[in-house]
Amino acid sequence: MSRYSVNEFVNSTKQQDKGEGLFELETPRLLEINLNGQVWAKAGAMVSYRGNIKYEREGIFEHGIGKMFKKALSGEGASLMKATGNGKLYVADQGKKVSILNLQGESIFVNGNDLLSFESSIDWDIKLMRRVAGMMAGGLFNVRLEGSGMVAITSHYEPVTLLVTPDNPVFTDPNATVAWAGTLEPEFVTDISLKTFLGRGSGESIQMKFSGNGFVVVQPYEEVYYSQQS
């Protein structure tokens, strides 16, 4: 086979069945969902599918008026679509790296912008970061996921997980914070002396402080969020 031929390109990039179950990484930045039932995915994340799959945007009252109210306050940043049927669904988000987590009765908080897909067996709720909402572009909110099932999250480039212990808290840039888990309750702290060193967005001097037992996932990139209500 000649170098750079069309056949070589097709063979090196063609879809492969890895037999890994419901969620599998087709590439590091493309999630393949072997659908036989229903999953939730970030609205607009579908890039391709085959089979008999029906798509519905999340209904206004689908998850109760409480979640609808919180979504309105958060600028609809976690808009979801429901995919139902049988087939292969491919989802991605602006070329971000995809990580798969298999929750087994555990819970995790994920930045609303970094949640790609999750099984319908997972319970979820939006948690608004009220104290910081007026301090950053578009505010900040997270989604709490709990139960048993698959969750896919995204990050710009390679994520790093930092372990937190009671005697060793971790401080992060909110725009670079992807997820956290454990007994952690983030606080927002400001330090004017760090203003010129941390961050380049509207929240340069704001940090998230994580204390307790657990872990925090960060990415080597600052995402700036724009509220659809602004």
Query: pLDDT (tens digit, 9 = 90+) per residue, 28-63?
Result: 999 999 999 999 999 899 999 999 999 998 655 455
Structural domain of 53: 20-218
- Residue 98 CA: distances (Å) to CA of 17, 29, 71, 79, 224: 18, 5, 24, 18, 19
Residue 6 included in any domain? no
Residue 2 included in any domain? no
**Could you tell me the pLDDT band of residue 129, with boundaries at 50, 70 and 90?**
low
Residue 11 included in any domain? no
| CATH, residue 193 | 3.60.160.10
Residue 123 included in any domain? yes
In the prediction, which pLDDT does 64 show? 55
DSSP E strand boundaries for the chain? 23-27, 30-42, 46-57, 80-91, 97-111, 115-119, 123-128, 141-155, 160-164, 170-172, 177-182, 187-190, 206-210, 214-218
Query: pLDDT (tens digit, 9 = 90+) per residue, 4-34?
Result: 889 988 988 888 887 778 999 999 999 999 9
The better pLDDT of the pair 125, 158 is held by 158
Establish how many alpha carbons lie within 13 A of residue 124's alpha carbon, considering only the half-sphere containing its beta carbon: 30
In the prediction, which pLDDT does 203 show? 46
Residue 79 included in any domain? yes
Residue 8 included in any domain? no
Residue 4 included in any domain? no
State how far the Cα of 70 lies from the Cα of 24, in Å rounded to an integer.
Answer: 31
What integer is the mean pLDDT of 196-206? Answer: 56
Residue 214 included in any domain? yes
Q: What are phi and psi of 208, to 5 degrees?
A: -95, 130
The better pLDDT of the pair 34, 3 is held by 34
Percent of the chain with pLDDT over 90: 53
For the cut 70, the answer to whether the pLDDT of residue 147 exceeds it is yes
Q: Which residue has the tokens 């910081």?
A: 132
Total domains in the chain come to 1
What integer is the mean pLDDT of 129-158? Answer: 78
